[in-house]
């Protein structure tokens, strides 16, 4: 055999990548294109395949090493031309005695791993963290076994993760888990106790007999002498070369090989492939890079760390990367979906079901629970109101249903704060009344169309001035960046709440900064009529930067309006009243307008909210400030 250097092939634009997984070890037989190790950069991970077939002689890399194109990975003892490397592909030998010898030697070599039945040993075995390279203080991110589980040698017990890599810790003994010493989130190092096993002695499982009776008899007659000879040969070999490692069960299996010819030969007759590959059936399947790893979601360590920081269950996230790999964007999208209540995690769903059952169970409770269970609240009370007196049921309008869902989302998700203040509009109201008298007279004379100016039109212009003074109020959180940036609008579209028979609607005055009081008043009147008639188009209700909700025609004093996302503030106004105001010498009767400004505390702080309200009050007190 020739010794060949296996190096990192062309891996694209990546300079240096980190080795995060070794898939082979010295002595392993590898095929062409079989994966040897997994490497990872800041943005991707990939598996490095073998360019030749052969047996691994020496590994030149370790976990955590940095490699790049051309770096030496391992030394491979490659097969000479015409020489078969993998025993799984070797043709069936013509000599039945050779087959029998191979089978008996396989029993010797794999006896500890071939058993399906276990018997408890006397002393418990402690399983500790083996040498995991230069990593220290790694975190347990998955526990793969539990107390009472039967495990095999080299079976993975836990998965640990450092800042740059994740790895599975195997068991160095077989047995039944008696006590777990670690849990999720624990930090472990080399030598730390993982679990205690009740050790076992392995027993060889009999091969399945699938051949017919005639085939069994014929096989017995031909192969029995060879099997017996093979058993003797293998026993002698084992005694001389493998005595320290040979279990009593394996010795018994070899010594009694001749007595087992019916079962073993029957299996070989019915399945010649299995007879030709006794070792292959007992080895771990070759690593398949096209399938997601078992136990952990298909994601890099950095993505799993990011998900843990957000509390995202990766098992419920659908990956959009190559081969279904979960990437950062998938975690962010899942988080946004949960926050907007369009997706429920399994934990929330389970909690909801438990609360529904606790509240009384049944179909009625499940229906009522939908109005708060997603928020972790107790189920909505389901009451038979008819038992208290006559009732009448009426379906909510489509607009009310849509509005209600949006208001609930906004009220729950936005950390809203409301500032209350009063604006002196005595002079502004006098000007408005005088203006309407003039326009009414001009309309009667036919000089111009009569347009009634409302206080709301002045409020729109005043709010535009305040938005220019405080641009944070004319911004929105950037949902595309997970609300980590602000989008400042260079336009001024003002929405106003309109009460209609079908529910609340919000028409929008576009480019209010470019329109005068008369134009705004006329447009508001037209949009309000369309809203009452149910003829507003979607375009006439979208694009608002800021909303005004006026209860001036009804009454009241102050209230807390709910922000209309994605806006960051809303102004509520009530009916103005005459109040005594101290002017420094005496109390004067002044017309005061109550203002209620609600703002998103993620974007606006308390000082800015107060300044906006005060500035707005000054504008309304002296409207000439709009010109400044």
DSSP assignment string, 351-399: HHHHHHHHTT-HHHHHHHGGGTGGGTPPPPP---GGGTS-----PPPHH
Instruction: List the beta strands (DSSP E) in 29-184.
Output: 29-30, 35-40, 45-49, 54-59, 66-67, 72-78, 117-128, 138-143, 150-151, 156-161, 166-170, 175-180
User: Which long-range CB contacts under 8 A does 32-40 form with residues at least 24 apart?
Assistant: 34/286, 34/287, 35/287, 35/289, 36/6, 36/73, 36/74, 37/61, 37/73, 39/8, 39/11, 39/67, 40/164, 40/165, 40/300, 40/301
**CB-CB contact of 385 with 553 (8 Å):** no
- The whole-angstrom separation of Cα 359 and Cα 353 is 10
- Residue 160 Cα distances to 164, 301, 333, angstroms: 11, 10, 26
CA angle 552/555/556 to nearest 5° reads 115
- The whole-angstrom separation of Cα 461 and Cα 623 is 9
What is the CA 187 to chain-centroid distance, rounded?
23
**CB-CB contact of 172 with 197 (8 Å):** no
Q: At what angle do helices 328-339 and 301-310 cross, to 10 degrees?
A: 20
Is the peptide bond preceding residue 233 cis, with omega within 30 degrees of 0?
no
CB atoms within 10 A of CB 596: 22
Residues with Cβ within 8 Å of 604's Cβ and at least 6 positions away in sequence, in order, are 472, 473, 568, 569, 612
**CB-CB contact of 615 with 471 (8 Å):** no
Q: Which of 366, 275, 57, 314 is CA-nearest to residue 166?
A: 314
What is the CA 178 to chain-centroid distance, rounded?
34
Among the options 52, 242, 298, 601, which is catalytic? 601
Q: Is the dihedral of CA 527, 531, 533, 537 positive or negative?
A: positive
Please, where are the H alpha helices in 31-181? Answer: 96-110
**CB-CB contact of 409 with 341 (8 Å):** yes
What is the CA 298 to chain-centroid distance, rounded?
12
Annotated catalytic residue 601: yes
- The whole-angstrom separation of Cα 157 and Cα 173 is 11
User: Which long-range CB contacts under 8 A does 287-294 form with residues at least 24 apart?
Assistant: 287/23, 287/34, 287/35, 287/47, 289/35, 289/47, 290/323, 292/323, 292/324, 292/325
15 φ, ψ (degrees, to nearest 5): -85, -75
CB atoms within 10 A of CB 505: 22
CB atoms within 10 A of CB 245: 12
Active site positions, annotated: 601
């Amino acid at each position: 055999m020739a010794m060949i250097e296996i190096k990192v092939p062309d891996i694209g634009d990546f300079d240096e990548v980190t080795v995060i997984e070794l898939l082979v070890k010295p002595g392993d037989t590898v095929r062409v294109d079989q994966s040897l190790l997994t490497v990872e950069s800041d943005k991707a991970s990939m598996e490095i395949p073998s360019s030749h077939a052969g047996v691994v002689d020496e590994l030149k890399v370790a976990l955590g090493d940095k490699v790049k194109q051309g770096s030496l990975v391992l030394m491979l003892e490659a097969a000479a031309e015409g020489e078969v490397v993998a025993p799984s592909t070797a043709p069936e030998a013509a000599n039945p005695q050779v087959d029998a010898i191979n089978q008996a030697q396989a029993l010797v070599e794999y006896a500890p791993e071939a058993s399906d039945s276990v018997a408890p040993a006397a002393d418990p075995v402690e399983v500790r963290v083996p040498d995991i390279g230069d990593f220290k203080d790694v975190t347990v991110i998955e526990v793969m076994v539990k107390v009472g589980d039967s495990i095999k040698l080299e079976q993975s017990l836990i998965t640990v993760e450092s800042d740059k890599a994740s790895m599975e810790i195997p068991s160095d003994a077989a047995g039944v888990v008696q006590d777990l010493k670690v849990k999720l989130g624990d930090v472990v190092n080399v030598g730390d106790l993982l679990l205690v096993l009740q050790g076992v002695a392995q027993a060889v499982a009999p091969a399945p007999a699938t051949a017919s009776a005639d085939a069994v008899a014929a096989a017995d007659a031909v192969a029995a002498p060879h099997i017996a000879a093979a058993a003797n040969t293998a026993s002698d070999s084992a005694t001389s070369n493998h005595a320290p490692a040979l279990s009593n069960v394996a010795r018994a299996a070899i010594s009694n090989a001749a007595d087992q010819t019916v079962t073993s030969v029957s299996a070989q007759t019915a399945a010649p492939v299995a007879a030709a590959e006794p070792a292959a059936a007992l080895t771990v399947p070759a690593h398949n890079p096209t399938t997601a790893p078992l136990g952990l979601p298909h994601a890099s360590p950095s993505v799993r760390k990011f998900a843990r920081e957000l509390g995202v269950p990766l098992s419920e996230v659908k990956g959009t990367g190559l081969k279904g790999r979960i990437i950062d964007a998938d975690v962010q999208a899942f988080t946004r979906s949960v926050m907007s209540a369009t997706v429920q995690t399994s934990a929330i769903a389970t909690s909801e079901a438990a609360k529904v059952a606790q509240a009384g169970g049944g179909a009625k409770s499940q229906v009522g629970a939908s109005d708060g269970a997603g928020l972790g609240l107790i189920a909505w009370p389901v009451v038979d109101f008819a038992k208290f007196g006559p009732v009448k049921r009426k379906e909510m309008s489509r607009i009310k249903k849509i509005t209600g869902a949006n208001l609930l989302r906004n009220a729950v998700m936005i950390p809203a704060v409301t500032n209350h203040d009063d604006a002196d509009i005595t002079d502004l109201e006098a000007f408005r009344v005088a203006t309407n008298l003039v326009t009414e007279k001009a309309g009667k004379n036919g000089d111009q169309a009569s347009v009634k100016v409302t206080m709301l039109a002045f409020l729109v212009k005043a709010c535009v001035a305040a938005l220019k003074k405080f641009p944070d109020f004319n911004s929105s959180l950037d949902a595309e960046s997970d609300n980590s940036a602000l989008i400042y609008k260079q336009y001024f579209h003002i929405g106003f709440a309109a009460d209609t028979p079908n529910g609340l609607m919000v028409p929008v005055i576009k480019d209010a900064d470019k329109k005068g009081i008369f134009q705004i008043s006329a447009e508001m009147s037209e949009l309000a009529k369309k809203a009452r008639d149910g003829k507003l188009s979607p375009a006439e209700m979208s694009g608002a930067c800021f909303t005004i909700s006026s209860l001036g025609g009804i009454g009241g004093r102050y209230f807390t309006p709910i922000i209309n996302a994605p806006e960051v503030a809303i102004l509520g106004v009530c009916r103005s009243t005459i109040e005594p105001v101290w002017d420094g010498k005496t109390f004067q009767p002044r017309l005061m307008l109550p203002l209620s400004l609600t703002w998103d505390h993620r974007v606006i702080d308390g000082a800015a909210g107060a300044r906006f309200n005060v500035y707005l009050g000054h504008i309304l007190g002296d409207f000439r400030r709009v010109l400044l």
